[in-house]
Chains A and B, each alone.
Chain A
Amino acid sequence: MQPEPILRIEKLVKRFGQFTALHGVDLDIQEGEFLTIVGPSGSGKSTLIRLLVGIEEPTSGHISLRGKRIETLPANHRPTCMVFQSLALFPHRSVGENIEFPLKIRGDAVGPRRERALALMDLLHLPQDFYDKRINQCSGGERQRVALARALAFDPEILFFDEPLSALDFRLRKNLEKELKDLHARTGKTFVYITHSLEEAMLMSDRIAIMREGGFEQIAVADEIYAKPVSRFVAEFMGEVNLFDVESTGGGGLQGSGLEVQMAPDQLLPELRVPQGGHGALMVRPEAVRFLGPGEAADFALDGVMRAEYALGSRTQYKVEAGDGREIAVEKLREDRFAGRSGDPVRLGWDQGHCHMIVEE
């Protein structure tokens, strides 16, 4: 049985005039988990987080923290806090004063407040002599740490993040993603993180919630969302993917344009079957597609022509044009790269164990 969630969202709706930003969303967040809400711009993720921290009020619906309704509580009365996209550090206060801010507001004495700020600086790898430094003298990464330390000083029940790493350069972002994951493990706090970066979500989260047009499309652990998306939208949002329109052959098998199904219908895995008369999208990720040699077999195969090659560092991505003109993406490790050239005919294949079926009515 699932434990009682720390935060429960029920039928939450937010309208701005005629525009509905959230269409009655439901979500349970478990204590201590790292949940990432991912979605394209305008999907409603920032609106949702602003409702959760109390900066905005919902049009209808409920938010309960440990069973207690909080949707009408103002932000300063909620035991939650947020790291803003802009970080929202106070430019007129020093690093130490920024971190101490929630303690000062709470009425803590100067001594303990300074002690706590220094301990948090230590936790976040900020040198102690940064205490008196001005915010405008800190680098981007240091500011991130100050914002995090300030949020932790508040000692929130849930810590929300609104795309706080989006403005940083790639290398720093990668480092901070890992640090954030470590910090989550060390503090044991509940983290709810918003991003439009799939990689960020995959790296850090226990669970990922995909948002689309003001609602949740799928909520699951990262692996499940990657391997078993519930819709084309999720499949395509979670990175490069090949989707083939298929339909039932009547005998329990599958058929699709240009796709060779090289196995008997009764060998098809039950989760890949499409109901009689129905159709679906057969999904295979680029890393599961192989270049087939002469006489080499695979459960699914198709012929095409090599069109382009893109170096991705440790991997190489290929674009192959299939017979019907569609492009198939293939990814190989650098050491397994394709030996041919652009324009060469190729035969691609993959096994049904690497496939997923998105059934469409």
Chain B
Amino acid sequence: MERHDRTMGLLSALPVLLVLLLSFAAPLLVVLAFSVMPPKVFDLAHMPDFSAYGVLLSQGYHRSLAWALGTALASTILLFLICWPLAYAMAKVFKRFTLVITVAVVITLFVSENIRLFGWVLTLMKGGLIEGHLRALTGMSFEGALYNVPIIIFGLVYVYFPFMLFPLVQGISMVPDDARQAASDLGASKWQVFWEIDLPLSAPGIVVGSLLSFVLAAGAMAESKLLGGQAVIVIADEIETAFTYGQNWPLGSALSIVLILIIGSLAVFGVSRVDLDSIMGRGR
């Protein structure tokens, strides 16, 4: 009976599985195949070589990769620090107000990322909302706050705020109140309750939020282009350039594969660190 159910389940999942394979795995395979093609070719009918990976190592693409991963890491840490108190309040303190915050944060997603970033450009540029008003009112002037690394990180934090906040709220709401109270009753200070109880028991939310924020930030380029003015070039920017202006699909593919491998390994590592069964109190 169980076997029959399993077969039926597999059969009914087959159409979706095929669509997923075609839409997700097939493009990835094409990218993988292009990454081992000779430079500047536009089809796969060539002898494979690894020259694109050689170019990647020799032409300093590691710097773009490091900038992408570094800004992604910095923004993820900042996001965690900023979102934790708010997420805690939304999960444990606020009642109906949680809904108001949720709606307010979700509404920002209704406007395209680029338009929101342009809003910040207009706000922060020289002659923009802040500097322009300051100059008109006081005569004082400054160069504007754009075109540097911190503003790129600010942009990433701003754009990916919901992707950290909501998983954290979910994670924190999984921590039973009586476990926190029991820890405190057994002598734990607020810091120890956070470290020993809140943090490990909300780990699923932390891991999901961090992975989402990190993966999206590592692959982002609008922030570095619009706010950063290409003060630094990130890997996504390099990939786009290779595919478009560079007309070097194999190089773009090799860069993509490296990024996918790094982020994929981090995701697998992160998820494997969370023992959901023990956190949820389920038997194994």
* A residues whose Cβ falls under 8 Å from a Cβ of B: 53-55, 74-76, 80-82, 84, 86, 88-92, 101-102, 105-106, 134-137, 150-151, 154
Contact = CB atoms under 8 A, between A and B. Distances in A.
A154 B184 CA distance: 12
Nearest to B281: A91
A88 B282 contact: no
B278 A75 contact: no
Contacts of B184: 55, 74-76
Interface string B165-187: 00000000000101101111111
A25 to B, nearest CB: 21
Contacts of A82: 182, 185
Given A88-B176, A105-B188, A105-B192, A136 B183 contact: no
Contacts of A136: 277-278, 281-284
B186 A91 contact: no
Contacts of B197: 90
Task: Report which residue of A74, A91, A135, A150 has the largest number of chain B beta carbons within 10 angstroms of its beta carbon.
Answer: A91
A151 to B, nearest CB: 8
A54 B185 contact: yes
Given A92-B200, A92-B275, A105-B187, A137 B283 contact: yes
Contact of A106 (B185, B187, B200): B187
A102 B187 CA distance: 6
A125 B236 CA distance: 61
Main secondary structure of the interface of A (DSSP, over half): mixed
Contacts of B21: none
A90 B185 contact: no
Main secondary structure of the interface of B (DSSP, over half): helix
B127 to A, nearest CB: 53
Interface residues of B, number: 26
Nearest to A101: B186
B100 interface: no
Nearest to B188: A105
A187 to B, nearest CB: 17
A173 to B, nearest CB: 20
A150 B185 CA distance: 11
A105 B10 CA distance: 50
A336 B28 CA distance: 85
12 contacts: A55-B181, A84-B182, A86-B176, A90-B179, A90-B182, A92-B200, A105-B196, A106-B187, A134-B278, A134-B284, A136-B282, A137-B283
B283 A154 contact: no
A135 B181 contact: no
B16 interface: no
A150 to B, nearest CB: 7
Given A90-B197, A102-B186, A102-B187, A84 B284 contact: no
A310 to B, nearest CB: 38
Contacts of A54: 185
A54 B182 CA distance: 11
B189 interface: yes
A110 to B, nearest CB: 15
B58 to A, nearest CB: 47
B92 to A, nearest CB: 14
B215 interface: no
A91 B175 CA distance: 10
- Nearest 5 A-B pairs (CB), nearest first? A88-B182, A88-B178, A102-B186, A91-B281, A75-B184
